């Protein structure tokens, strides 16, 4: 599976959690899945996501987490 294909699968899985109302699992799914792929494990979006944990309330904001997930390229 190419990195692009894998990334799309990661997004689908994370968005499924988010759509079910589970923002924590959406975030965790995205970061954990990306870390399992050799070409994506150091993606800068992971660092940005981890930074979201430092901003109070941001990780609980569904719209921001969705924007973060969809924004991966």
pLDDT by residue (tens digit) across 21-72?
A: 999 899 999 999 999 999 999 999 888 888 877 677 777 788 888 998 999 8
Residue-number span of the structural domain to which 31 is assigned: 3-70
Spatial contact of 10 and 64, defined as CB atoms under 8 Å apart: no
Question: What pLDDT score does 51 carry?
Answer: 80
Q: Look up tokens 């759509």; give the residue.
A: 19
Residue 29 and residue 17 in contact, taking contact as beta carbons nearer than 8 Å = yes
Contact 62, 51 (CB under 8 A): no
| The total number of structural domains that make up the chain | 1
Question: Taking Cα atoms as reference points, which of 29, 23, 62 lies closest to residue 7?
Answer: 29
The tally of CA atoms less than 13 A away on the side-chain side of residue 47 is 4
Considering the entire predicted model, what is its pTM?
0.86
């Amino acid at each position: 599976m190419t990195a692009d294909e894998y990334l799309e699968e990661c997004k689908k899985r994370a968005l499924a959690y988010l759509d079910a109302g589970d923002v924590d699992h959406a975030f965790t799914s995205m970061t954990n899945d990306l870390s399992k792929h050799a070409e994506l494990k150091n993606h800068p979006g992971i660092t940005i996501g981890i930074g979201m944990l430092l901003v109070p309330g941001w990780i609980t904001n569904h719209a921001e987490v969705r924007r973060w997930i969809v924004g991966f390229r």
